[in-house]
Every structure is written in C-alpha cells, then in structure tokens.
Amino acid sequence: MPLRFRAQCAASLMLPALGMLGAIESPAAAASASALVPHRAVYDLKLEETQERSGISGMYGRMVYEMKGSPCDGFSVSFRFVTRVDTEEFSRVTDQQTTTYENLEEETFRFVTRSFVDDSLDDETSGSARRGDGGGIDVTLNEPEERSLSLNAGKFPTEHMLELITRAEEGDRFYQSHIYDGSEDGDRVMLTTTVVGDREEPSTGDTELSEAGDLEDAAYWPVSMAYFNEQDRGDETPDYQISFKLHDNGVTRDLVMDYGDFVLSGKLQSLELFERADCTE
C-alpha cells in the first residue's frame, strides 16, 4: 500500500509541450494568466473505492491549496495533503507539504516537497528547473541527492494549467501534453492525456455551491486527466487519473483522484479568493 501519495498531481491541476514557446507568448494564454485568481481552497477527502490488494480499509483527510502571485511577479503555491490511512494491521497519518514558485517570463520553477508519516519526516524532494535551449528542461536537484538532469520538453504546473484553460475556451476537447512538477524524485516529465467536456452551468443538485462563494453561479468545464510515466514504455495504464470541475479563473472543485488501488474524492469545504496583483509597467 502506497504511503506516499503524489501530492503534486492535485497541485498541478489547481494547474502538448510547446518547445521553445513559453505559455505567455500566446495572447490567449497571456489573457488566461491575468485571469488566474489567487485563492485558498480547502477540500475534505474521503475514500470512495478500494481494491482488496491495496490493504486499505479506510481513509479520510483534508487538502489545502493556496496560490498567490501574478504573471509579472510569478506564482507561488503552498499545498498540504493530509490523510489517515487504516488497514487491518495499522493506522497511519500521512502528511505531504509542497511549496513551489514559478516565473512564467523567466521560465523557471522551484519546488520543495516533504512527506511525513506519523509526524516523522519520511521523504524530501527539492530543487529547481528552467527551460533550456531547444525546449528541454534543465533540473538541479538538492534532495533526495544532489545531481543535475536534462529532461525532455514539458510545461511547468502554471503553464500546464494555462494551457488547459486556453484549450477549454477554444473548444479543444481532447489533447496530450507534458508536465514537469518536481514530484516523485524530481527526475521525470509526465505525459498527460486530457478530456474536456462542454461548459456547464451549476445545477441545484451541486452540493459544493454553498461553499463556492463568488463562484456559486459560475460555469465550469468537467475535466478528466490521466498521467503516464513515459519511462514505462509500452504500459498503457496511467499512473493515476483525476477528474474535476474547472472554472475559467483556475479554481477547481469536485475532485476525484484515482490511484488504481483506491479512489479518493475531494469536496470543496471552503474557498477564499484573494485580490489580484496589478501588473503595470
């Protein structure tokens, strides 16, 4: 049973490689970047399904996502993913804490992820990355060990989110892309396959509307995204899948996270929107 969940998966969505083109070089993407709203969202997590091979008998927890910044100053994200996992043999509390900073103009990304089990540090990954010549990603890792890597082309998390919003606005219903978010050991670019549904209006049966605040009447796109490790050639099974409702300001809700052996849901418990920074010359 995995005790270390891929926290950056959820953080990235709350987030095709374009080679040498940065996300803000496209007028549509630039407009989306300005539209991203800094916010703090809290989600209650609940176990929806579990396979016998997982060994999990129960799981619940909370996820907190906070994004601040602007296209001119860069975007910083603080993300925490806490769960209590019960099996027939033990109960454990896992706590993943991730902080990132992404500069769209400089095409750089920094990240630190610490994973705790029952309050003891279990794992740490940290480093920085920048888009290199030819569109590839140059990575400098500090933890779990110091090393330098040259990886294939991919988008950083905010770029990846901006592409998703732009594709949704343009009516693109299916596409593939690549993302580097520093997760796992910070040593790989993941392939993502995304399906975007038609834009929908909130319904009276939407249980999250009471917590959505200013987004109570806002339309959204239903999105499903699968993540693949391209190092596992020939394996058509995704490492994990996630579905959610996406608003055009970058806020996501009604999450379903499928890790293969088990499925978690994340329901919006509270949402606070922060004031956007004014990017002026």
Whether residue 277 is predicted with pLDDT greater than 60 in this model: the reply is: yes
- SS3 at position 235: coil
pLDDT at 123: 92
Containing H/E element for 169? helix 157-169
pLDDT at 214: 79
What's the CA gap between 271 and 41, in Å, rounded? 5
The candidate with the shortest Cα–Cα distance to 213, out of 263, 253, 161, 164, is 253
What's the CA gap between 122 and 116, in Å, rounded? 5
pLDDT at 235: 58
Whether residue 62 is predicted with pLDDT greater than 50 in this model: the reply is: yes
pLDDT at 11: 45
Which pair of structure tokens corresponds to residue 5?
């969940």
Provide the sign of the torsion angle of the four alpha carbons 270, 124, 225, 139, taken in this order: positive
CA-based R_g, the chain, Å? 18
* Span between the terminal Cα atoms of the chain, in Å: 52
Whether residue 27 is predicted with pLDDT greater than 50 in this model: the reply is: no
Containing H/E element for 32? helix 27-35
Task: Answer whether the bond into residue 222 is a cis peptide, omega within 30°.
Answer: no
* Tens-place pLDDT, residues 212-267: 887 888 899 999 999 998 766 555 788 899 999 999 989 999 999 999 899 999 99
pLDDT at 133: 81
Whether residue 275 is predicted with pLDDT greater than 90 in this model: the reply is: no
| φ, ψ (nearest 5 deg) of residue 32 | -65, -40
Look up the pTM and report it.
Answer: 0.85
pLDDT average, residue stretch 65-75: 91
pLDDT at 233: 53
Which residues contact residue 56 at a Cβ distance below 8 angstroms, ignoring those fewer than 6 apart? 1, 47, 50, 85, 86, 87, 261, 262
* Tens-place pLDDT, residues 77-124: 999 999 999 998 889 999 999 999 999 989 999 999 999 999 999 999
Which of 17 and 281 is assigned the larger pLDDT? 281
- SS3 at position 87: strand
Report how far apart, in Å, the C-alpha atoms of 227 and of each of 8, 46, 66, 123 are.
Answer: 12, 21, 23, 22
143 with 164: CB under 8 angstroms?
A: no
* Tens-place pLDDT, residues 137-194: 999 999 999 999 999 999 999 999 999 999 999 999 999 999 999 987 899 999 999 9
